Amino acid sequence: MGHPTQELRLRQQMTLAPRLQQSVKLLQMSALEFTTAVEHALATNPFLEDGDEPEVEPADRERDTRPATHGDNAETSADNPAASSAESPAAAGDGEEAPPDAPAYSGDYPMPSSGNGDGKDLGQWASASLSMRERLSQDLGNYHLQPRDRLLAEFVIDALDDDGYLRVPLGSLCSADRPEFSPPPDDGEWLAALRLVQQLDAPGLGARDLAECLTLQLAAARTVAPSTRELALRIVREHLDRLGKNDCIGLRRVLDCSDEALREACALIRSLDPKPGARYSAEAPVYVVPDVFVDKWHARWRVLPNRNAMPHARLHRTYADLFRRARLDDRSPMAQELQEARWLVRNVEQRYTTIQRVAEAIVKRQQTFFEYGEVALRPLMLREVADDLDMHESTVSRATVGKYMVTPRGVFEFRHFFSRELATESGGSCSAAAVRALIKEMVDAEDPSMPLSDVALTQQLASSGILLARRTVSKYRGQLRVPPAELRRQH
């Protein structure tokens, strides 16, 4: 009979305090997610109200007599030691009152109210658009059809993939024993439904392969010269593989046509859309709410927060005073609501401050990008910004994902400015993003009749002192969505 044994195991575990959990959660949210979360808290917590600027507890107000500082340039917060103390979410503790030595989260970057609240209307940032299937169904409603025919067309529309193709056999779109169909639809009915769908909206939708997709688009190209269209139709139907290989000599031989006619037909085919369904997703741009604005003021780049587009949570003074005079139990649900309201107000302000400081550190280190563009983007690691701001690297990471800045060169996610380092022949370094920009410039400046191969691009980069393997150049070219040289050649 065995003897019972005892085993002692040590396990180290870190548990985040509730306020720290909330702080981390708010920081990693995008501006839209953050706005939704704060609006929900304002609607559900009676101790919170939407105000033009944050409000702090009386005790905090007495302790915090220093004036608020404005982030007018890229060096302001980075050189302010007091601002760095706001990095730790647990600085003010998890109780209802902050310790005497903790800074009050009164907001380092207040923005004046617009007075009408228009800045917080998220409708101006969003756009509603119809999907491909919704658009086709809408167009189908313009036809006077029998219920059976309309239902067959709807089955075809629902079966289209995101590129607009019908990849499955017509007969498998629905089971033969469905009660809506008696008798079951035959091949002729399915084909008639498919032809109807192919006439809706953009030409090429409902095709079963690439050749049919391009044929439908050529059939709709009535403004093109008939001879050019007929030659293009022959290429698409019979010699699409030769076109894909850019075999102009073979095409000219089998088609028995002139160089000029072949060039016009190939140019017409290349102008067609091989994925007509993709345009519907492209038509709906992704709207983001920027967290900061970057501009140049008196020869210096500055970072301004975009707080007008987000809610301003503050403690509801009247309700908080009534609760204090009522002397209710500190463990009551109302006491918990009041504590959570205080946490939210401080964590919201801390989020603004952290994102502002990270943005300023990025702008400070990427001055050349704002002056000269993508080719001047320098290598930057999260660790560098974390060391500058005396923050943990994970905090900087959360403050860069899903955060956007509006600059004179466009809208960029904070993450765009963090690019890995590549060595140069002179012993210096450049960023991978800068190399991609150089490759794009080389391709844009090439001779269309003699496009640069990946080997040629590699050699040109090497002559500039940037030593990369050919496969790396091929990878960067692919990331830029630039086709290989043989597909870029124009005769």
- Which of 1-15, 145-159, 279-293, 306-320 is predicted most confidently? 145-159
pLDDT at 437: 80
- Model-level pTM? 0.48
pLDDT at 129: 61
Q: What is the average pLDDT score of the chain? A: 75
Nearest to 346 by CA among 31, 29, 91: 91
Predicted confidence (pLDDT) at residue 92 exceeds the cutoff of 70: no
Higher pLDDT, 185 or 188: 188
Q: How far apart are CA 490 and CA 385, in angstroms?
A: 46
Angstrom distances, CA of residue 310 to CA of 31, 38, 54, 258: 8, 9, 13, 63
Angstrom distances, CA of residue 329 to CA of 324, 333, 334, 335: 10, 9, 9, 7
Average the pLDDT over 344-348 and give the result. 88
Lowest pLDDT segment from 22-26, 162-166, 248-252, 360-364 = 22-26
Q: Hey, is 207 helix, strand or coil?
A: strand
pLDDT tier, 127 (very low <50, low <70, confident <90, very high otherwise): very low
Q: How far apart are CA 444 and CA 267, in angstroms?
A: 18
Predicted confidence (pLDDT) at residue 468 exceeds the cutoff of 80: no
pLDDT tier, 421 (very low <50, low <70, confident <90, very high otherwise): low
pLDDT at 357: 93
Average the pLDDT over 21-26 and give the result. 81
Q: Structural domain boundaries of the chain?
A: 132-280, 419-488
Predicted confidence (pLDDT) at residue 256 exceeds the cutoff of 60: yes
Average the pLDDT over 87-100 and give the result. 38
Contact criterion met (CB below 8 Å) for 473 and 439 = yes
Contact criterion met (CB below 8 Å) for 34 and 310 = yes
Q: 356-380: buried (b, 16+ CB within 10 Å) or exposed (e) per residue?
A: bbbbbbbbbbbeebbeeebbbbbbb
Nearest to 358 by CA among 405, 299, 309: 405
Provide, rounded to the nearest whole percent, the portion of the chain with pLDDT above 70.
74
> Tokens at residue 441, please?
């410039």
pLDDT tier, 105 (very low <50, low <70, confident <90, very high otherwise): very low
Burial class for 410, CB neighbours closer than 10 Å (0-12, 13-18, 19+): exposed
Q: Which long-range contacts (CB under 8 A, 24 or more apart) does 87-91 make?
A: 87/354, 87/357, 87/389, 87/390, 87/391, 87/392, 87/395, 89/19, 89/20, 89/23, 89/24, 89/347, 89/350, 90/17, 90/19, 90/20
Peptide bond just before 183 cis, omega within 30 deg: yes
pLDDT at 313: 82
Higher pLDDT, 331 or 23: 23
Q: How far apart are CA 74 and CA 367, in angstroms?
A: 10
pLDDT at 303: 93
Angle between the N-to-C axes of helices 432-444 and 454-463, in degrees from 0 to 180, rounded to the nearest 10: 120
pLDDT at 478: 83
Q: Count CB atoms within 10 A of the CB of residue 88.
A: 16
pLDDT tier, 355 (very low <50, low <70, confident <90, very high otherwise): very high
Contact criterion met (CB below 8 Å) for 382 and 418 = yes
Q: Count CB atoms within 10 A of the CB of residue 308.
A: 15
Angstrom distances, CA of residue 211 to CA of 67, 222, 266, 274, 343: 70, 19, 14, 9, 61
Nearest to 128 by CA among 309, 283, 288: 283
Fold for 419-488, please state it.
Answer: Arc Repressor Mutant, subunit A (1.10.10)
Predicted confidence (pLDDT) at residue 356 exceeds the cutoff of 90: yes
Average the pLDDT over 60-73 and give the result. 36
Half-sphere exposure of 114 (CA within 13 A, CB side): 13
pLDDT at 69: 34
pLDDT tier, 195 (very low <50, low <70, confident <90, very high otherwise): very high
pLDDT at 3: 57
Lowest pLDDT segment from 28-42, 233-247, 416-430 = 416-430
Predicted confidence (pLDDT) at residue 212 exceeds the cutoff of 80: yes
Over the stretch 36-60, which tens digit does the pLDDT of each residue have? Answer: 888 888 888 888 888 755 444 444 4
pLDDT at 448: 83
Predicted confidence (pLDDT) at residue 292 exceeds the cutoff of 90: yes
Average the pLDDT over 136-165 and give the result. 86
Lowest pLDDT segment from 83-87, 266-270, 304-308 = 83-87
pLDDT at 55: 46
Higher pLDDT, 350 or 176: 350
Q: How far apart are CA 86 and CA 83, in angstroms?
A: 6
Angstrom distances, CA of residue 401 to CA of 245, 246, 368, 387: 41, 42, 22, 18
Average the pLDDT over 139-157 and give the result. 85
